[in-house]
Structure 1
Amino acid sequence: MTHPPQPGRRERLQAILLRDGPTCAWCRTDLSGRTPATTDHVIPRVKGGPSWSENEVAACRRCNRLRGHTSPTDWLAECERLGWHPDEPRITRVLESLADAITTRGGQRRARTYLDAQLRRLAKR
């Protein structure tokens, strides 16, 4: 089954900001003013995470750069350690949405086990 191509990064970012609001998922910085928004892959691409809107959240450049390839659950803990207030429900919702998208679209074999492990870890938090 062929699925329509995903929109470009700019269009995905605009859709993500409409979906989640104009704040960084990790530190909750307002992204509607002077701080530019970036797309951050919740499941890192190096772990098989696709460039789908279901796998992306809006993040400030600082958080996106500092996070690197850190797992979502480890980065949530690091954000809390730094005194930030990450949006854990948003991260959980995005991961669940990605799981549904993978089930529907198929593929993403590398991302599946990593995603399942992250959802289990989030459920234990």
Structure 2
Amino acid sequence: MRAVQREGGACVWCRRPFSDLVVPTTDHLVPRVRGGPSWLENEVAACRRCNGQRGHAGAADWVRECRGRGWEPDVDHLLAVLGDLEAAVAQRGGQRRAREAVQAQVRRLRRLR
């Protein structure tokens, strides 16, 4: 799980460090049902709890939910990952639905900074 290594050993949403009790999973930043590809550029490391509870919610909606729970997701990191995804989509082509979803999430996350 390369996304887990990139995130530095903590959930991108709730910031809990991964351990035997806090199991890391790979979460698609743009959910597959919204056209998000299964590329490293679309993956972040999340604990099993956050990944399961987030479901298909957009990144900006889940950031609001996390903040309501007293957690502080790293919005700048999420924007950086979305920027990488946007560049990958532009380079590889296709992924029209993903492109639209990425642009919408970037706009919404920038307002949450």
Q: With the length of structure 1 as denominator, give the TM-score of the two structures.
A: 0.85
Give the counterpart of 1:24 among 4, 7, 11.
Answer: 11
Alignment match, 2:93: 106
Equivalence for 1:34: 21
Whichever residue aligns with residue 103 of structure 1, its letter is A
Identify which range, 37-46 or 85-94, moves more after superposition.
Answer: 85-94
Counting matched residue pairs gives: 112
Residue of structure 2 aligned with 1:89, choices 76, 81, 86: 76
Instruction: Could you tell me which runs of 5 or more consecutive residues in structure 1 were left unpaired when the two chains were aligned.
Output: 1-12
Letter of the structure 1 residue corresponding to residue 57 of structure 2 = T
TM-score scaled to structure 2, two decimals? Answer: 0.94
1:33 deviates by 4.2
Is there any run of 5+ residues in structure 2 with no aligned partner, and where?
A: none
Matched AA of 2:38: S
Shift of 1:44: 0.4
> Equivalences for 1:60-79 in 2 at 5 Å?
60-79=47-66
Name the Cα RMSD after superposition. 1.1
Counterpart residue identity of residue 16, structure 1: A
Identity of aligned residues (%): 52
